[in-house]
Amino acid sequence: MKVELAEQVVVFVRSQAPQPRRRLRLALRRLASEQGDIKPLEGPLKGYCSLRVGPYRVLFAYARPPRGQTVIRCVFAERRDIVYTVFHQMLERHLLRDA
């Protein structure tokens, strides 16, 4: 499976100290084979999944093109204590802007 990283995820990972950065990079590589602490989200974030990496979460969704390989799109990463709230607010703003 292919893993695609949004710019926000790349910037977040790069901004971390060396040890957490290594853990995040390893977890993202393992995600290609669907390894790691992965949980589907519920409620308003249904359709997304969370990859737990210590105190961090990487939110992603599966994209299944009509033909070809399934893609895992990592769309947001942040500390666990704020990741879901911030991502939900971002989705709401995006939906309101497009309405």
pLDDT of 38: 97
Instruction: Go through the domains of the chain in sequence order and give each one's CATH number.
Output: 2-98 (3.30.2310.20)
What does the pLDDT read at residue 7? 97
pLDDT on residue 98: 58
Distance CA 63, CA 80 (A): 24
Spans of the chain, pLDDT less than 70: 95-99
Pairing of strands 2-5, 71-79: parallel
Output the pLDDT for position 96.
Answer: 63
Note the pLDDT of residue 67. Answer: 80
